[in-house]
Amino acid sequence: MAKKERTPEEASRDQATITLLTQATEEGIETSFSRADSMAACPIGSDGYCCKVCGMGPCRLVKEGQTGICGATRETVAARNFARMVAAGAAAHSDHGRDLAYTLLAAAEGHAPDYSIKDPAKLREMAGYLDVAVDGKTTEELAKDVALAALGEFGKVEGKIKYLDRAPPKRQEIWKKLGIEPRNVDREIVEIMHRTHIGNDQDAEHILDHAMRAALGDGWGGSMMATDLSDVLFGTPAPVISEANLGVLKDDEVNIIIHGHEPTLSEMIVAAAQDPEMIKYAKSKGAEGITMAGICCTANETLMRQGVPLAGNFLQQELAILTGAVEAMVVDIQCIMQGVVKLAENYHTELITTSPKAKITGATHMEFDEHRAMEIAKEIVRKAVDRYPERKKTRIPEDKAELIPGFSHEYIRYALGGTHRGSFRPLNDAIISGRIRGVVANIGCNNARVCHDHLHQHVVTEFLKNDVLVVETGCGAIASAKQGYMTPEAAFEAAGPGLREVCEAVGMPPVLHMGSCVDNSRILTVLAEMATETGLGEDISDIPAVGMAPEWMSEKAISIGTYCVASGAYVIMGHKSPVSGVEVVDRMISDGWESKVGGRMEFINDPEEIVRRSLAHIDKKRAALGLPEYDPTKWGQSGDARMEQLIELPLEERIEAAYGNKAE
């Protein structure tokens, strides 16, 4: 059934997006926004009771009590569908981690000469987690052993994933008691596929317990290793200055968009684009230089380490091409819409696929090989430059905002206590005193079925007003970056009095950009450190914190949500539950999971309700810890805040206000 077409203002809250959607509508160009308007979601599939795991179906269990041909109940079907989403999401993250381990191995063995160990301290830290002996080894020898140990975690024969030891001891006990400690990364994913095959696990609760086990293998295994390996190879992020939104594209330069998730090739392309030989080549074609910008999580990876600007988030990938100013869109893995190929046919843009795992019909495939990384990167840059003379009319929106990303957990620890006394103590103290009411991790995608960026923007604005520190990754982080919430100055405008004081003291933005989708593992690390720092209980489930993905759409987001719940967090997913038609299963992942692991998953589409429930949860956790009730009237008189008020006054009044006597 065709739906009503939304106006650009109804489809997005982002001005650059609205401008380009208006143009697309005028020119009759199709985008994911218009496709979402012209095609309603299948109600049976979206409610979770379509079963297509065998050739007798698909069975559509539309009536209460109806079963599939094999007799499978709606509960079994919904739980199987949910678990398969977790398997796909966990596989995507973890396979990304595995490839990074192979890159590290190749670099250590001297087969990938364009890569080096950028953070040897982190390499040694990884060695500690993986029980790899450090003494007497060169960096390369250690890197080889760490890479092999990391690869072993994907398919080890016995035991459990070693990184689970990074969780608070109380949490590890819960996993052990429930029997959901992941044995290795791959096994739990494979086992989901086995269990959900026709005629196997047919107890919804039992299937969902295993979904938690596989998701934990993602969060505390594949994703966490992916983050660490990226830091070892490309450097652990620290603050840099950059910009976000389509206004970062340049009218007089070759624009190359990098899109997807892996930093391995994109880091090389960024380096290649700065090569004087490449810049000279661009000038020979009439351009002033080469601009790199990113979409989705490849963007977040190169932003965090190199400050490469963000062109936009998931729903802006087609719009970047619509500017007419993009010579090449270079994609690797995950979240790449097939629609970009057809759209690019209207422009001079070359769409280049690079991963052996992700070819797209109609795109130019230039397969990446880490053994000759820079050579391929330069070929790609040259190809983009060759397109520049074919550029026609451009319409680059003016919108862009400054940001300071780069908040790895290592940097946060350092920012809070310095090199020798770095710790999460000041953060815990700020929460204990009530300056910071609690923490929200706002992560995840955009979804063409909900107004682009609206839920992200709304909830983050409200949390800041309520003195809640917001940490972000993925496309949610890009939404806040575009909104201007990622500069220290944003605290003056947007934060409540207590949070503002903390931001002033530390010099940090009220919303911290912590990286890409796999970097949600950084958030797990922060939570684990907060739980063991004392003062906020002994477990992640004790902390006044909430996780959310208000505009989720990918299976990876379901895996992330599930591992956060299994780690003890209250998680709110926006949009719609993939098991909304089967109340029993919806209750299993909320009340049921809460009674087992202390975390719960809820799906809420109303932004006001997301905020209300989050604050209620934070306040409930504060009360359980015996912390003072949140009272914003106690804060806001710090030196900087007073300076800002006083600076507006004439000099005599300033002196009187500051010292209580008039100027002589």
Give the residues lining the site for ligand MSK (CB under 6 A). Answer: 261, 296-297, 314, 335, 444-445, 474-475, 516-517, 554, 556-557
Looking up tokens 């990754």, which residue turns up?
A: 473
Which CB atom, from 426 or from 561, has the smaller least distance to ligand MSK? 561
Using the minimum distance from each CB to ligand MSK, give the nearer residue, 43 or 339. 339
CA distance 244 to 403: 7
Q: Which residues pair with 355 in a beta bridge?
A: 358
575: closest CA among 604, 600, 554, 548?
Answer: 604
Tokens of 90: 């966990």
Q: Do residues 307 and 269 lie in contact, with contact meaning Cβ atoms separated by under 8 Å?
A: no
Contact 261, 96 (CB under 8 A): yes
Angle of CA points 266, 267, 273, to nearest 5°: 85
- 260 and 337 Cβ atoms separated by less than 8 Å: no
Nearest distance from C-beta of residue 267 to ligand MSK, angstroms: 17
Whole-number Å distance between alpha carbons of 163 and 168: 11
Q: Closest approach of Cβ 261 to ligand MSK, in Å?
A: 6
Here the tokens at position 542 are: 């004790």
Pairing of strands 511-513, 468-472: parallel
In the bound complex, what is the minimum distance in angstroms from residue 274's beta carbon to ligand MSK?
25
Least CB distance to ligand MSK at residue 172 (A): 28
Q: How far is the CB of 557 from ligand MSK (least distance, A)?
A: 6
Structure tokens at 519: 């970097």
> What's the closest the beta carbon of residue 134 comes to ligand MSK, in angstroms?
33
Closest to 10 in 3D by CA, of 46, 44, 34, 40: 34
CA 596, CA 174: separation in Å to the nearest integer? Answer: 8
Strands 59-60 and 50-51: antiparallel
The helices-and-strands tally (H runs, E runs) of the chain is 30, 16
Q: Output 147 or 448, the one with its CB closest to ligand MSK.
A: 448
For residue 13 the two structure tokens come to 């809250």
Spell 270-284 as b/e; 16+ CB within 10 A means b.
bbbbeeeebbebbee
For the bound state, the minimum distance from the C-beta of residue 245 to ligand MSK, rounded and expressed in Å, comes to 15
**Complex with ligand MSK: residue 164 or 517, whichever CB lies closer:** 517
Kindly state the smallest distance separating residue 515's Cβ from ligand MSK, in Å.
10
Residue closer to ligand MSK, measured from CB, 202 or 264: 264
Q: How far is the CB of 660 from ligand MSK (least distance, A)?
A: 53
Alpha-carbon distance 92 to 97, whole Å? 9
Q: Which is nearer to ligand MSK, 103 or 554 (CB)?
A: 554
- Comparing CB distances to ligand MSK, the nearer of 537 and 574 is 574
Of the pair 513, 556, the CB lying nearest ligand MSK is at 556
Complex with ligand MSK: residue 146 or 477, whichever CB lies closer: 477
Which residues, in sequence order, are CB contacts of 120 under 8 Å at separation 6+? 139, 232
Question: C-beta of 432: minimal distance to ligand MSK in Å?
Answer: 32
Report the nearest approach of ligand MSK to the CB of residue 294 (Å): 10
Distance, in Å, from the CA atom of 647 to the CA atom of 664, rounded to the nearest integer, reads 19
Q: What number of other Cβ atoms are within 10 A of residue 645's Cβ?
A: 12
Classify 547 as helix, strand or coil: strand
Q: Residue 254 in 3-state DSSP?
A: strand
CB of 553 to ligand MSK, least distance (A): 6
Query: Looking at beta carbons only, is 269 or 557 nearer to ligand MSK?
Result: 557
Q: Which is nearer to ligand MSK, 446 or 614 (CB)?
A: 446
The residue (of 349 and 554) whose beta carbon lies closer to ligand MSK is 554
Q: At what angle do helices 555-566 and 204-217 cross, to 10 degrees?
A: 90
